[in-house]
Amino acid sequence: MRRTTTAAQVPAGPGPRGEEHGVGEQPADGRTPPTDEGTTAGTAPPAAPAGGAGAGSGPVVAAGERPTVRLRDADPEEPARYAPEWLELREGADAVARAPELLDTLRARLAGRPSGIVVHDLGCGTGSMGRWLAPRLDGAQHWILHDRDPYLLHFAAAGSPRAAGDGGHVTVETRRGDVARLTPDALRGASLVTASALLDVLTREELDTLAAACAGAGCPALLTLSVVGRVELTPADPLDAEIAEAFNAHQRRGGLLGPDAVTAACEAFAAHGADVRVQPSPWRLGPAESALTAQWLRGWVGAAVEQRPELADRAEGYLAARLDACAAGELRVVVHHSDLLALTGPTGSAS
C-alpha cells in the first residue's frame, strides 16, 4: 500500500492536505475504531443493477479526504490514524464551495432507477461527501464508504445521513483497502463513484486506474474540490507568490499530480470516451472562517518551507503577520479548486 504522509498534503484548499505538517500533534482520545474490513449501517441496501451491489468487489482505499492533525504515531507498517477535527473544521467550507451546476446533469443520469442507486465514496474521511450529496439526490441510496483508516470509517458510518432528498432510505457500508486495486469488478453494480479532495493526491497511474475502473463499470464519477494551484490573499503581500509557487512544487513531489490533477483527470476520462464537465469550486474564507483559515495557513506555509528551506526566516514573520490579520478579521483568502463530473457509458463511451 502506498503511504503518503508529506506536507504536500497540507490543507491546500480542498483540504486536509497536511497530514502531519503545519499543525501540532494531538493525543489519541482512547476510542477504539472498528477493525472489520467491511461493516454496514442502516437497513438493507437497495437492489443494485445487474451484478449486485458491490458484488465481487475487493477493498478499495481512499487517498482522498484526510485530516491534517496526526492523532498518533503509527507503526510504519500500519495505516496512520488521524484526528477527525480537521475534516469537521473544513466541512462547512467544502459544502459551500462544491459546484451545484453539475448536480442537474448527475440527477438526470441517475434518474429512473426504481431499485435505487449504489454510490462508492472514495477517501470518505468522516463522510462529509455523503452528508452533502445524499440529501441532494432522490430515491433509495446505498453508500459504500472507502478509506484505509478504520477510525475515520467509524465516524463516517456513524454520521452518515439516513434519508435522501425525497425521503428515500439511505444505507451505508464501509470498506478498507488500496486505491491501486480499484478495478471495474470492484465497482460492479455501482451507479456513481464520488470523492472529495482526492485527485490531487493521486499519481497519474492511479488516476488512470480510477478512470479505467469507472469506464469499465459504466458509472459516472463526481470528483470535487481538487486544488488548481491558485490562491488569492487580501490584503496582498509580496511573499504570497513565492509561498504559492513553493507549495505547488511540494504538492507535485513523489509523482503526485497536485495542481495538475484536474487537467490530467479530464484527459484520462476523455481517453475512455467520457463526457467530462468541470466547474470552479473555490473556498472563500473570511472572518467567519478564521479558525479554518488559520489551520490552512499553517499547513500552506509549512509545506512551502519544507520544499524551499531558504524561505524559513521570511516565512516565519509572514505567517505570524497573516495569523494576526486572520485573528483580527482582516484577512480574506480564496483557494481555487475545481469539481469534475465524468459521464462514462457502460463500455467506456460517453452517453
First-to-final CA distance of the chain: 34
- Nine cell digits for residue 86: 480537521
pLDDT of residue 69: 28
**What are the CA-CA distances from residue 47 to residues 53, 106, 108, 277 (Å)?**
7, 20, 20, 29
Q: In terms of DSSP bridges, do strands 275-280 and 192-196 run parallel, antiparallel, or are they unpaired?
A: unpaired
- Candidates 3.40.50.150, 3.40.50.300, 3.90.1150.10, 3.30.465.10; correct CATH number of 7-229+256-282+336-343? 3.40.50.150
CA–CA distances in Å: residue 57 to residues 173, 184, 202, 213:
13, 9, 21, 12
What nine digits make up the cell of 151?
A: 477510525
pTM given for the model: 0.79
Position 15 scores a pLDDT of 36
User: What element of type H or E holds 311?
Assistant: none
Dihedral sign (CA 17, 21, 26, 32):
positive
Separation CA 190–CA 48 (nearest Å): 8
pLDDT for res 205: 94
pLDDT at 346: 53
CA distance 82 to 242: 29
CA 196 vs CA 180, 187, 191, 201, 329: distances in Å: 17, 18, 17, 11, 28
10-residue mean pLDDT series, the chain (351 residues): 33 33 28 42 36 25 31 41 76 97 96 93 94 97 93 92 95 82 84 95 94 94 97 98 98 97 98 97 98 96 98 98 98 98 66 39
